[in-house]
Chain A
């Protein structure tokens, strides 16, 4: 089945700097990779996703890149703001053993210092 590794587990940046979070996956059949943001005490919310037929997707200050050959994908946040502080989870859809379920990384706690 799918295995998703996420790094780093914690990330602290200064307001205005960029933040990058990386995930690797094991199942070459995976074709869908969402990113969720979870603020303290709130529900995980989808912020961006990418499918395997594209290498990059942008939405304002957020971008995701996918390298299918290396089986890794990354979240890029530019011009970070204090409200970007949250835990970010990556996920990959597993077609190997769990019929298309999402397998999540352990999360990255991002702190943006004003």
Chain B
């Protein structure tokens, strides 16, 4: 359960705030992912990093900005979000792009 950690676990922010979500993996993996999980919708892949290089950006609005300073850490910087951005944001990691993905516990985000 401690392989992939995320902080904070809960976050409430106004539409004008700037905040960051943090993900850390202790598994020695080379690929990391950000997913958005909304009610009654499939998990939506937002960003993929492989060996610290962004390899995928699934048409995510620019108010979400990822950062991967090293292979163990992944950030999601948030600014001027909208209420519809309220969701559970999940981080995952895998040995490589083909490997099994392991998820963090998520950050429950509420945008007011």
Contacts and interface: CB of A to CB of B under 8 A. Distances in A.
Interface in A76-92: 89, 91
B55 interface: yes
A75 to B, nearest CB: 16
A4 B42 CA distance: 9
* Residue with the greatest number of chain A CB neighbours at <10 A, chosen from B40, B42, B45, B104: B42
A46 B102 contact: yes
A98 B56 contact: yes
A101 interface: yes
* Residue with the greatest number of chain B CB neighbours at <10 A, chosen from A4, A32, A93, A104: A104
B58 to A, nearest CB: 8
A104 B42 contact: yes
Contact of A43 (B48, B58, B97, B104): B104
Interface string B32-64: 000000001111010010000001101000000
B77 to A, nearest CB: 22
Contact residues on A (Cβ < 8 Å of other chain), bracket: 20 to 34
A92 to B, nearest CB: 11
A45 interface: yes
Contacts of B66: none
A91 B94 CA distance: 15
A101 B45 contact: yes
A34 B97 contact: no
A5 B13 CA distance: 34
A41 to B, nearest CB: 9
A102 B97 contact: no
B5 to A, nearest CB: 10
Given A34-B100, A43-B104, A99 B42 contact: no
Interface of A: 4, 32, 34, 36, 42-46, 49, 89, 91, 93, 98-107
Given A91-B43, A93-B98, 12 more contacts: A34-B100, A34-B101, A36-B103, A42-B105, A43-B104, A43-B105, A89-B43, A98-B58, A102-B101, A106-B40, A106-B41, A106-B42
